[in-house]
Structure 1
């Protein structure tokens, strides 16, 4: 019989441009499979295949699987509205310049609303699909590592359990072979106990002894 532990830990990491990803999986004892899966925003589509992969690999234990993903390139872009910037510069240069106001600066103009336009980077669907595939492959690798750890711990537990069972068996044999467990020794002990009871009061020694033998049989 193969014994597998329910406790274990594994992790796996990788890079699929522009995403860095990492799996961390931990399992502890539980009657059945209790799965807790955490996925970052934007990767919710991995929920069903990830749960299916974990269910194929594990039958019991409370499993905590966490995926973290970071993007290498920025998720937003910045673009200068040149037409607006030129218009502001021309307009301001044509206005009178009060003495109590400092000269025109570029950083001041760039801070005005609408001069710098920001927006989210358009997702590359091919890159995202490739990242999701590699993340699922990384999950399988982490699960294989977890299974190996649980098997190794189970084999170590099996050795300890076998030693304990062998010790129990040896103690049982020794107890069965003990002279004190032999019928004649037991009868002698009963006879002594009945004699002591008779000394304490008026009892029928023969009847007491017969009943004691019957109870011990």
Structure 2
């Protein structure tokens, strides 16, 4: 979701520059910084970016300047009248409580926001500039999309490697678990014989029952099968072209759940080591996924 794009242009003596930055975000959050007089662009901007992107925290700014010597100021009569009326009302209210306010000067009035406007090309009188600026929105979106896609391609390579690593560890865990199951009866038989005394007979039926209980508690088949299923699902998500970030985020949680169970049921150092290594890889994968749309 990280990216940057800018677009610049000039029309009728007005220069403008669009800039947009994108960072990670759970949803789509668009922050706008538009110059005075360009507020009419907010709705089409939100619609266009909302259609183009599903996730990310985007900051979009527009800078506009006139050519040297062409800046102009103009009086806003409505804002001036409102300011004068407010000053008169404040004076009346102050006198009612025995206070006298200092009279406002022309400079005070002109310094109020909106009374004296600086025309930087964004005013309603410059329809040509407004149209030219609006025309820069589409190429700006394409520029940001290209930047995010370039980063996405690099993320896909990293994620593919991490998924392959989890798949390899799953194969190793299965082989280790199967080898351990084949040897599971030997330690138990030895301990039973030691307790009963050398040469004492071992009740095979009871021993088989105990071995079955141990095997059920330590069996990792379901966890390993689910891990293989998660690997297949992750590879399928990588092949999709639409937004997959939320799905990937959920899938990494499922990966982590199975790895935790693997560690808790391991009962052997080699399996525990595999489970811990798997958790490290899954954590790295989860960090990468936070930047996937």
TM-score interval (norm. to shorter): 0.5 to 0.7
C-alpha change, 1:35 and 1:70, in structure 2 (3 Å) is same
1:209 Cα deviation after fit: 7.0
**Is the Cα contact below 8 Å between 2:36 and 2:123 reproduced in 1?**
no
Question: Separation in 2 of the partners of 1:34 and 1:197?
Answer: 69
Q: How does 1:102-181 map to 2 (within 5 A)?
A: 128-178=126-176, 181=179
Task: Decide which structure has greater helix share.
Answer: 2
* Gapped regions of structure 2 (runs ≥ 5): 75-115, 217-293
Q: Tell me whether 1:191 sits opposite 2:189 in the alignment.
A: yes
Q: Tell me whether 1:7 sits opposite 2:2 in the alignment.
A: yes
1:124 Cα deviation after fit: 11
1:29 Cα deviation after fit: 1.5
C-alpha change, 1:213 and 1:141, in structure 2 (3 Å) is same
1:25 Cα deviation after fit: 0.5
What root-mean-square deviation, in Å, do the aligned CA atoms of Structure 1 and Structure 2 show? 3.3
Question: Separation in 2 of the partners of 1:215 and 1:131?
Answer: 78
Q: Tell me whether 1:214 sits opposite 2:213 in the alignment.
A: yes
Task: Decide which structure has greater strand share.
Answer: 1
Count of matched residue positions in the alignment of Structure 1 and Structure 2 = 167
1:186 Cα deviation after fit: 2.1
Residue aligning to 1:20: 15
Residue aligning to 1:115: none
Q: Which one scores higher on RCO, CA 8 angstroms, separation ≥ 6?
A: 1
After TM superposition, where is structure 1 displaced by more than 4 Å over at least 4 residues in a row? 119-127, 192-199, 204-209
C-alpha change, 1:34 and 1:189, in structure 2 (3 Å) is farther
The TM-score, its normalising length taken from structure 1, stands at: 0.64
* Gapped regions of structure 1 (runs ≥ 5): 1-5, 78-118
